[in-house]
Amino acid sequence: MKKFIKILIIVLLINCFNIYSFADTESDSKENTNNNFEISSESAILVEEKTGITVFEKDADKKMYPASTTKIMTAILVLENCELSDMVTVSSNALKSIPSGYVTGELFVEEKLPVEDLLYELLLKSANDVAVVLAEHVSGSVEEFSNLMNKKAKELGCTNTNFVNPNGIHNENHYSTARDLAIIAKYCMQNDKFREIVSTREYNLPKSNKYPFTDRKFKNTNELILPDGKYYYEYATGIKTGYTKEAKSCLISSSSKNDINFISVVLGGSSTSNGKDARFTDTINLFNYGYENYKFIEFKTANEFITNIEIENATEETKNLNLKITEPLTCFSNINFDFDNLEPKIQLNEDISAPISKGDILGKVTYEINGIEYSTNLVATENVEEKNNYLYFIIAGFIILILGILLLFLRKSKNKKIKKNKNRSRKKR
């Protein structure tokens, strides 16, 4: 019997240990999934497109060579300064300006092509000579177009960017940052045609005055949007790859899932330990992290009570007034954010007094979440009636009248007493 009890105790202890170990492992696994993924690229950022909120960053302000991701700025300037049907003539200078080893568009001197077709070749095939062709068409020269690029970058709020060419061919003075490129990409994605082009998987150049065939077919270099590619990501919607020896692998990418749009930038990527292209694997990890840990959260519902105030000149029955919001408040936030301890900042209108009608705006309430303020109006939930001051005046007047009568009565009584005392005094004499 003693032996049986010992065995039973040992079994129970083992089971307890296993339960504890499983719970601990499960917790660690969740933590690793949510927070501890690795980004091997030198610089990276993940931004929610609608709000501009940064979800993740790694050396996002480090100056880096952007390589062909430069071409998104070229494309948006062309879209804003040209018609898609404008015919562009290929110059000899554009073709000769591209060093050996860089991707070209297989164009011909004096060939004429529409702006639209050249934009597809610029962004999908990443043709460097096409970038020069378009720059010359817009500004007359690469130098003038570069000035236009830098002006636009500053207008958008970029602080560590300098462009010296429209294609990203290596130059020590041609640089940007992950944060700045995310700003530019966010702006570009507001353009419908730009979004359409960067999400296109393949394209055919048409016949032209110098080339009578339609065999100039090319695929998008962004493998995230290619179903037959080894880096296919079903939620990817664009945008642009880049590579030079000095810049290493670069990628600006976008994705959309559950009404959440992300923009990711990774710069200075290389091959991973298992031989994969880090710019794609890093981007997929960033997107997965964002979708697993962030969402749009309605933290205040419509018609929710916020606070109570007292209206001084209101009737006793209506002077305590509840204030509510009429529309919900929604923020983009980490799913683990503690909304229960949010402190409202309430700002009431000046000189609030009765009468007040239900629905009247009496102020606003603001909540700060991760440095961003969310505000909405505070409205009255009920009618507030004003005190009837005339009644108070009547009552006060009545009281004064009574007091006056009493005072008069007291005076008459006193006078009678004095007169009586005088009469008595005379009789004694």
Catalytic residue among 40, 41, 68, 97: 68
The answer for residues whose C-beta is within 8 angstroms of residue 133's C-beta and 6 or more apart is 88, 90, 91, 94, 107, 118
* Closest by Cα among 192, 123, 180 to 156: 180
Closest CA to 131 of 162, 104, 156, 99: 104
Which tokens sit at 31? 């933590």
Residues 242 and 69: their CA atoms lie apart, in Å, by 5
Structure tokens at 71: 């071409």
Is 253 one of the catalytic residues? no
357 is catalytic: no
Q: For residue 172, which phi and psi values (nearest 5 degrees)? A: -60, -25
d(CA 289, CA 287): 5
Query: Which token pair is 419?
Result: 């007169």
CB 173 within 8 A of CB 162: yes
Look at the alpha carbons of 93, 95, 96, 97 in this order and tell me if their dihedral is positive or negative: positive
CB–CB of 175/162 below 8 Å?
yes
Alpha helices (H) along 142-240: 142-156, 178-188, 192-198
Which single residue is written with the structure tokens 């720059």?
A: 135
- Rounded to 5 degrees, φ, ψ at 19 are -65, -45
Cα–Cα nearest to 70, from 157, 156, 150, 137: 150
Active-site residue, selected from the candidate residues 71, 125, 240, 324: 71
Q: Is 353 a catalytic residue?
A: no
Kindly state the helix (H) or strand (E) to which residue 265 belongs, with its residue range. strand 260-269
- Exposure string for 120-138, b = 16+ CB within 10 A, e = fewer: bbbbbbbbbbbbbbbbbbb
Q: What are phi and psi of 213, to 5 degrees?
A: -115, 165
Question: 267: closest CA among 377, 185, 343?
Answer: 185
Contact 196, 252 (CB under 8 A): no
In 3-state terms, what secondary structure has residue 49?
A: coil
Q: Strand, helix or coil at 52?
A: coil
| Active site residue ranges | 68, 71, 126
